Amino acid sequence: MHIPIGHKVKKMFSGIAYKYDFLNHILSFGIDYYWRDCLAKKVKKLDPKTVMDLATGSGDVAFKLSDSLNKECAITAADFCQPMLDQAKIKQLKSKKYSNITFQFGDAMHLDFEDNSFDVVTIAFGVRNFEDRNKGLREILRTLKPKGSLFILEFSQPNVWFKPFYFLYLKYILPTIAGIISRDKNAYQYLAGTIESFPSKEALKSQLLEAGFSKVDAYGMTFSTVAIHHAIKQ
């Protein structure tokens, strides 16, 4: 029986939710803090009043946005994996300072939001897990206000000279370390595979334009292993 990709991804993240943050910091050598900071700075320049952080996971991007943006900005943080949302809500309760964030269920394939709802949508390390990338991007486009912005923080294809080292790490070292810590090596072998097969900056830019965005810019970071795409709705 065929099991939809979305169901597999949801089950996988449910199994690693409780150690997800710790593994992110370890496996990225802490550079994930810098990547989120770069994303938040780009969003801040637009001074949005309404933001959705899609595929929010345990909420780290949503919290960073709340720290960076005007406290009057309403942040909706959505994810389709309830155990990940549970982790985010626990962190919110413990902090007692993120009252402008609302965590709720949200599936990128069928977003339960009105057209033209948000000034900005952010999604960090979630696009590569979309069951149907074009459909997900069109759903995001629909929920953005005219002239609204989508910011995608995602793994990309690294600079040519760095590729051999990077893919050695992805294929062998990352799954081994993650497997020891999370006891779910298969989950991180899957994630490494999605990173290796994800489009280059230019290819993702083309896909965003094909989905209906009017302008797209891409910014590579850390030898282009990661990129931020800024796509604007007409």
pLDDT in tens, 66-83: 999 999 999 999 999 999
Contact assessment for residue 90 and residue 60, using Cβ atoms and an 8 Å cutoff: no
pLDDT of 3? 42
Q: Are 140 and 54 in contact (CB under 8 A)?
A: yes
- The predicted structure's pLDDT at residue 119: 98
Indicate yes or no: pTM above 0.75: yes
Across-strand partners of 170?
none
**Residue 102's pLDDT band (cuts 50, 70, 90):** very high
Instruction: Indicate the CATH number for domain 5-232.
Output: 3.40.50.150
Cα distance between residue 179 and residue 39, in whole Å: 29
Tell which wins on pLDDT, 190 or 38. Answer: 38
Angle at Cα 233 formed by Cα 230 and Cα 234, nearest 5°? 130
Mean pLDDT rounded to a whole number for the chain: 90
- Separation CA 185–CA 6 (nearest Å): 19
Q: How confident is the model at residue 14 (pLDDT cuts 50, 70, 90)?
A: low
> Could you tell me which residue, 3 or 175, shows the higher pLDDT?
175
In this model, does residue 122 exceed pLDDT 60?
Answer: yes
| Dihedrals phi, psi of 45, to nearest 5 degrees | -60, -25
- The band of 7, judged by pLDDT with boundaries at 50, 70 and 90, is low
122 within 8 A of 128, measured Cβ to Cβ: no
Tell me the mean pLDDT in the region 31-43. 97
Quick check: 1 pLDDT over 50? no
